[in-house]
Chains A and B, each alone.
Chain A
């Protein structure tokens, strides 16, 4: 149980392109979803927290207009990196959790984004 699917796994695209990443909870209802970014050999950095039907809460320093998050249903959240540039290249990982805050986050497999 507690399977989270993230798609796509790899994206390589030109600078200026917008990239959409999907995160789905397959066998449970994810009231809350999280988006992380991780650079090589560094720790997870939380970008934003989204609750179904509400606007996402962004961490300090994360541009809301650059990283658009939509959590339209209890099983789907999307992250769109708008007008991506080479410095946006990173490993993006989503996680999902039920409504109870003491429940573990279950992670998708991550999306490796490379902007040329």
Chain B
């Protein structure tokens, strides 16, 4: 079966750095997305990785290792508004998007 694993919940301090991990076992791989979803709102697109390595976009970076079936989202200089759920999603060989359950990130002052 297809599976995406993310921690259910993480807590971090304002101004700090946090890394949210995602491991996947899917039938094929055609890319990985990270989305942010604030409570009661729809997801917003953060990043896309298809090749190994790090993609940096401002305070957020996303890393991919296809051989390990592993990705992480790195958030720097955390702000209170970063409190949200972060969803990892993988495109499989049939170009179906497989969603993780999301990681709820709690930022404390």
Given the interface pairs A93-B42, A109-B41, the reply to whether A104 lies near B48 with Cβ below 8 Å is yes
CA of A42 to CA of B8 in the docked complex: distance in angstroms?
Answer: 11
A/B interface sample: 12 pairs, CB < 8 A: A43-B101, A46-B97, A93-B42, A95-B42, A102-B50, A102-B91, A102-B95, A104-B48, A105-B33, A107-B42, A109-B41, A109-B42
Residues on A lying within 8 angstroms of B by beta carbon are 2, 6, 42-44, 46, 91, 93, 95, 101-102, 104-110
Which A residues are in CB contact (< 8 Å) with B45? 2, 104-106
Least Cβ distance of B57 to chain A in Å? 13
Interface residue count for B (Cβ, 8 Å)? 19
Chain A CB within 8 A of B87 CB: yes
Which B residues are in CB contact (< 8 Å) with A107? 42-44
Q: Secondary structure at chain A's binding surface: helix, strand, loop or mixed?
A: loop
B41 touches A44 (CB 8 A): no
Q: Kindly name the residue among A2, A44, A105, A109 whose own CB sees the greatest number of chain B CB atoms within 10 A.
A: A44
Least Cβ distance of B32 to chain A in Å? 10
Quick one: closest A residue to B95, CB to CB? A101
Which A residues are in CB contact (< 8 Å) with B48? 102, 104
Known: A93-B42, A102-B91, A105-B97. 13 other contacts (CB 8 A): A6-B42, A42-B101, A44-B43, A46-B97, A93-B43, A101-B30, A102-B31, A104-B45, A105-B33, A107-B42, A107-B43, A109-B41, A109-B42
